[in-house]
Amino acid sequence: MGEVTRILFVGAGGLGCASGLVLAESAAVLPPMSITVIDDDVVSADNLHRQLFFEDADVGRAKGPRFVERFLDTAHRRGAREVTARDVADRLVPDNARALIAAHDVVVEGADNFATKFLVADAARLERKPVIHAGVVRWAGYALSTGAESRPCYRCLFEDLPRDQPDTCAIAGVVGPLVALVGALQAELLIERLIGRATPRLVHVDALRGGALRSRPLRARADCPSCGERASLHEIDASHYVQPSCA
C-alpha cells in the first residue's frame, strides 16, 4: 500500500452519506485512503430519504458502524482494496476537535449546525488542515474547499456564527434530492484534493432556479480573524461554539 490519505468525516447524515457514497464508488481509481467517521447519532426513519447509506432495517441503530460497513462494501464491490474505515461514536466538540483533526490529512464537514461548522473550521486552521465544507437549507446549498492549510478558510466567507436564530435543518428543513446533489459536489471537491488538483473555491446550487450552479474562487481576507494577516483566533474557546440540536 502506498501513502495513505487520512480522511475525517464529521457527521454521517445526509451530506456525509452522499459524499461518502460518491467517494466509495470512486475509491478504486483514487490513492489509498483511511476513513474515520465521527457521529454519535442513530438512524431515524424521518431522515432515510436523504441518508443514502441507510435502510429501514437500520432505524434505531448507530449511524457510524453502518456508515463504515456500507462505505467499505461499496468501495470493495467497485474493486478498491487500499481502503480502510472506522467510526468514532462521539461528537466533535471543543475538547476533542483539534486532536481529531490533527490526526487526519483532510476533513469532510457535513454538520447540521453552524456551531460545529465554525468549530471544524477554526480547529482545522489551527492544525493547518484543509476542509471540504457543505451545507443545505431549504432549496439552496453549497460546497466549499479551503486552502491546503485552511487558508483561505470558512471564516473568509462566513465571518462568524449568526447572532440571531439562523435557518437550519431543524427550523427550515431541507430538500432530500438537493442534499444528494450537494454531497456529490462535496465529494468532487474532495477528490480534486486527493489527486492534487484542488483550488480553494465555493460552489453554490439553487434548486429553485433550475438547479443553477455557480462556482467561484474562495479568496483569503486580510482581516479574517482565523487566517488573516493579524489573526486573533489562536485557541479553541468552548464558549464560542454553542450547539443547537438537529435530528
Give me the residue spans of the domains in the chain: 5-237
Task: Give the pLDDT score at 207.
Answer: 85
Residues linked to residue 87 through DSSP beta bridges, in sequence order: 37
User: Exposed (0-12), middle (13-18) or buried (19+): which is 239, by Cβ within 10 Å?
Assistant: exposed
Predicted TM-score (pTM) of the model is 0.93
153 is catalytic: no
Per-residue pLDDT of the chain (247 residues; tens, 9 = 90+): 569 999 999 999 999 999 999 999 999 999 999 999 999 999 999 999 999 999 999 999 999 999 999 999 999 999 999 999 999 999 999 999 999 999 999 999 999 999 999 999 999 999 999 999 999 998 899 999 999 999 999 999 998 988 765 555 555 577 889 999 999 999 999 999 999 999 999 999 998 887 679 999 999 999 999 999 999 999 999 999 975 444 3
CA–CA distance, 109 with 107 (Å, rounded to integer): 6
Catalytic residue among 17, 169, 224, 227: 169
Give me the CATH code for the 5-237 domain, please. 3.40.50.720
Write the DSSP symbol of residue 147. -
